[in-house]
Amino acid sequence: MPAHEEQMSGGRAPGRALPRALLLAMMCSTVLVAESSPAAAFELFGIKLWGSSSDEDADIVDPLRYAVTINAPDADKNLVKKLENASALKSDEERPVSGSLGLMAKARSDREQLVAALYADARYEGVVTVTIDGKPLDDLPPDAEFKGPQPVPVAIDIATGPKFTLGNIRLQGDAAGLMSADYGLISGGDAGSGAVLKAEALIVRTLKEQGRPLAEVTDRQIVADHATSTLDVTLTVAAGPVAGYGPTTVEGTEKVDRDFTEYMTGLKRGRQYSPQEIDDARDRLLALEVFNSVTFKEADTLDADGNIPIGVQVSERKPRYFGVGGTFSNTEGLGLEGYWGHRNLFGRAEKLRIDGKISGIGSNDLGELNYNAGIMFEKPGVIGPASKFFASVKTVLEHPDAYDHFSIKGSTGLSYELTKKQTVSAEVALDYSRIHDAFGKHKYLIASIP
């Protein structure tokens, strides 16, 4: 019987391996996202303005309400908070489940999530007991029905047990030459499942940084010794061969050019694989602002040339956007402003933005309103994925008390990102201004190379 099942039913087995502990911890951190259905009720800042909760529950078949109580007398405040956050029964308490079967299914899932939360806190001897309407969950038949008054009482009793520390740590296989302490695995140290998972990821990352894309943990032995409250960890890692980049394939593009997206990854075929380059390529695609999400997936095997194929999955954002706004001042009158933009003008992530502002409405004559307008254009990837061409035109017409001012400025240039913290750029700008004040009219023409 898997160890977590024994813990949930109250059993303890000294020295028993915990093969699913880390899996449960990952389950505990999973976030589910679903599209919401339209609801008749309307809520603002937590205050329901109209509609009722029954409107929101109309899509639930056989709605059954429950009230949950979590009892963890041995836990401190921080652990209690973690357990409450891990409990879907607690977080969804205001929303009914679908019948008695839905309540039991949610309770079973909740029990695993709570065990995972205990493992994340290095509590490998914890016991989680769930009762529904006074009956233990494991004693309820599959067709049990709760027909009494609602909400149905649900009690979750948690005996946390002692906090474990790391015991014997062994790195085997291609990780045998690595020091476990460099990855947070220290005898007597944090034995939480999250710490072990983090160490695994860092070890694999170290090997991948040597150009080995197939590096992975091939065997994991985690044994909880209940007599000493220690966790023994043995990890076997296979590094795999050094490889270069294979073909990069892009999926999910609709209006953005697929070949351009592949080009902007900057992953040249045959060049030695680097996980940092993969991260940089993802950041570069996201910086184009045309994608909602970008996911890189490396193939499980090398191709015939000994290279690793790379798959890129993207989802696009809406290309157009706009905004309007207004201000009012008892001295400067009414102000209106707005902008319109396009993130993918010609299909290769070209940006165009037009904005404008008018102020002084009501306080000045129509001929003395203040105007501000601009057009900005950017085109990425002109001389490599890290480059960008930009151009802009801005004009200002304003009438403060002491003078009238009109100006128009145009600029164009190139920028190139050397690193994430260093960018070099060259620009040519031309600025024409006309000023009318008490001393007369003045005109200026300024050329610059910023």
Query: Domains plus CATH for the chain?
Result: 3-31+60-159 (no CATH), 165-238 (3.10.20.310), 244-316 (3.10.20.310), 320-448 (2.40.160.50)
Tens digits of per-residue pLDDT, 365-424? 777 788 999 999 999 999 999 999 999 999 999 988 888 999 999 999 999 999 888 999
Give residue 47's pLDDT: 45
Range of lowest pLDDT (4-8, 47-51, 126-130, 188-192): 4-8
Stated pTM of the model:
0.77
Give residue 450's pLDDT: 87
Give residue 45's pLDDT: 41
Average pLDDT, the chain: 87
Among residues 167, 200, 165, 168, the alpha carbon closest in space to that of 183 is found at 200
Buried b (16+ CB within 10 A) or exposed e, 335-367: beeebebbbbbeebbbbbbebebbbbbeeeeee
DSSP state of 190: B
Give residue 61's pLDDT: 79
The pLDDT > 70 percentage for the chain reads 86
Report the greatest alpha carbon distance in the chain.
95
Location of structure tokens 């890189």 = 296
Report the distance separating Cα 351 and Cα 321, nearest Å: 11
Report the distance separating Cα 293 and Cα 139, nearest Å: 45
Would you mind telling me the total number of residues written for the chain in this entry? 450
Give residue 58's pLDDT: 59
The letter for the amino acid at 145 is: E
Range of lowest pLDDT (4-18, 128-142, 258-272, 424-438): 4-18
Range of lowest pLDDT (199-208, 292-301, 361-370): 361-370
Does pLDDT of 99 surpass 80? Answer: yes
Residue 103 confidence class, pLDDT cut points 50, 70, 90: very high
The number of helix segments (H) and strand segments (E) in the chain equals 9, 22
Average pLDDT over residues 5-21: 42
Does pLDDT of 55 surpass 70? Answer: no
Cα separation values, 1 from 7, 13, 113, 271, Å: 10, 10, 18, 48
Among residues 276, 305, 280, the alpha carbon closest in space to that of 294 is found at 280
Give the contacts of 20 (CB within 8 A, at least 6 positions apart): 2, 3, 4
Give residue 381's pLDDT: 95
Give residue 60's pLDDT: 74
Does pLDDT of 40 surpass 50? Answer: no
Give residue 360's pLDDT: 83
Is the pLDDT higher at 4 or at 255? 255
Average pLDDT over residues 23-48: 40
Give residue 433's pLDDT: 95
